[in-house]
């Protein structure tokens, strides 16, 4: 697991990437399941959020 600082730096550096996707992972769902649900390819660059993150 990356440290929080490394994760934030990675997100910030990729923010200018227009292909970046934000994916909401539903309760009980894996990130791969969320990509399938959204019909996105498995190699897509994504930021995964939980349902709780969405509410904040």
**pLDDT tens by residue, 32-54:** 999 999 999 999 888 888 877 76
35 lies in some domain: yes
DSSP strands (E only) in the chain: 21-25, 46-50
- Output the CA torsion sign for 10, 14, 20, 21: positive
3 lies in some domain: no
11 lies in some domain: no
23 lies in some domain: yes
Q: Which domain holds residue 46?
A: 17-55
Number of structural domains the chain divides into: 1
- CA distances 1 to 4, 5, 24, Å, are 9, 11, 20
The pTM assigned to this predicted structure is: 0.64
Given a contact cutoff of 8 angstroms between Cβ atoms, the answer to whether 22 and 11 are in contact is no
40 lies in some domain: yes
Residue 37: per-residue pLDDT: 93
31 lies in some domain: yes
Given a contact cutoff of 8 angstroms between Cβ atoms, the answer to whether 47 and 25 are in contact is no
């Amino acid at each position: 697991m990356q440290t929080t600082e490394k994760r934030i730096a990675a997100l910030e550096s990729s923010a200018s990437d227009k292909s970046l996707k934000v994916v909401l992972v539903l309760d009980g769902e894996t990130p791969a399941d969320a990509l399938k649900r959204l019909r996105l390819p498995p190699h897509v660059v994504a930021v995964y959020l939980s349902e709780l993150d969405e509410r904040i």
